Amino acid sequence: MKGEHTEIIDLSHLLLHDNETRTFQIKPQLVDFTPRVSNPEAPPKIKPLTFEEISRDDTPQGYYVLMHELLFHTNAGTHMEVPRHCLKNGPDLSEIPLEQLIGEAVILDLRACRPQSQVSVKQIQNAATESGGINRGDIVFCMFGHDVFYKTDKYKRCPYFSLESIRWLVQKRINVLGVDTPEIDSPEATHPVNHLPLFEANIPLIENLTNLTEIKQTRVNVFILPVKIKFLDAFPVRVIALK
Ligand SMILES: [Zn+2]
């Protein structure tokens, strides 16, 4: 971490109820404490709500607490995948050291890569040289500018990596790989070929980043703070860059 910062750039997409490619449902409920006004022993009334009802304060004295139940896919929206995603005994979401998730990120400009084409190791190496090189322990964000197609038909038709380019990033001993696309594997892949070398080296992968083009510098300090849940393979994550 170095330098003074003046701007926070949010690198995560907004998650919307029932409006994601993967399950993401929010059920609001109102805990109404009104019965306690006359009887301190009385149980509060729990009432399921619709989103329209949330804006209406319908307990007589406003003695309520709003809560939600969530049902969602661990790979919804901007999410971080960890080795357990593909490896039986790999570390889960709670086991990734925070030191690995806070630090300097280098942005590789890969905006010249075509949709549905393979990114070669040469392209990655050239982008790395252009950005001043990759250091051991860097967070590496690959900027394709593909986030502009998020939730459109074009989004799935993203550039993908050659196995050689992933292996090259792994041997650079990077801390995290992040992409502004939904996938790093070829649409024809029979199994998550490109995920495996990352996870075998304990390198988490962030898919569906956004706003990398807002950073406009090659190095930036980044915070990735996943919730601490045991056993999970992945989770939506808020990623921020400090500029
Ligand atoms: Zn993935």
**pLDDT tens per residue, range 136-193:** 999 999 999 999 999 999 999 999 999 999 999 999 999 999 999 999 999 999 999 9
Instruction: Give the burial string for 147-169 (b: 16+ CB within 10 Å, else e).
Output: bebbeeeebebbbbbbbebbbbb
Token reading at 61: 């004295």
Query: Ligand 1 centre and the CA of 164: distance in Å?
Result: 17
Report H helices in the chain: 35-38, 51-54, 121-130, 163-171, 195-200
What does the alpha-carbon distance between residue 29 and residue 14 come to, in Å, rounded to a whole number? 22
Query: Ligand 1 centre and the CA of 234: distance in Å?
Result: 9
pLDDT attached to residue 1: 66
Q: Which value, in Å, is the radius of gyration of the alpha carbons in the chain? A: 21
Query: Ligand 1 centre and the CA of 230: distance in Å?
Result: 19
pLDDT, tens digit only, all 243 positions of the chain: 666 788 999 999 999 999 999 999 999 998 888 888 889 899 888 989 888 888 777 777 778 889 999 999 999 999 999 999 999 999 999 999 999 999 999 999 999 999 999 999 999 999 999 999 999 999 999 999 999 999 999 999 999 999 999 999 999 999 999 999 999 999 999 999 999 999 999 999 999 999 999 999 999 999 999 999 999 999 999 999 999
Query: Ligand 1 centre and the CA of 28: distance in Å?
Result: 30
Query: Ligand 1 centre and the CA of 215: distance in Å?
Result: 24
Q: Is 126 exposed, middle or buried (0-12, 13-18, 19+ CB in 10 A)?
A: middle
What does the alpha-carbon distance between residue 136 and residue 147 come to, in Å, rounded to a whole number? 27
Residues in CB range of 171: below 8 A, 6 or more apart:
none
What does the alpha-carbon distance between residue 3 and residue 52 come to, in Å, rounded to a whole number? 45
pLDDT tens, 191-205?
A: 999 999 999 999 999
Q: Is 124 helix (H, G, I), strand (E, B) or coil?
A: helix
What does the alpha-carbon distance between residue 8 and residue 69 come to, in Å, rounded to a whole number? 30
Query: Ligand 1 centre and the CA of 243: distance in Å?
Result: 28
β-bridge mates for residue 226, sequence order: none
pLDDT attached to residue 34: 86
Q: Which amino acid appears at position 19 of this protein? A: N
**DSSP class per residue in 86-97:** T-TTS--GGGS-
Structure pTM? Answer: 0.92
Closest by alpha carbon to 107, among 222, 237, 230? 222
pLDDT attached to residue 35: 87
Query: Ligand 1 centre and the CA of 18: distance in Å?
Result: 21
Query: Ligand 1 centre and the CA of 15: distance in Å?
Result: 18
Length of the chain in residues, anyone?
A: 243
Domain 8-15+74-242 falls under CATH 3.50.30.50: yes
Boundaries of every domain in the chain: 8-15+74-242, 24-72
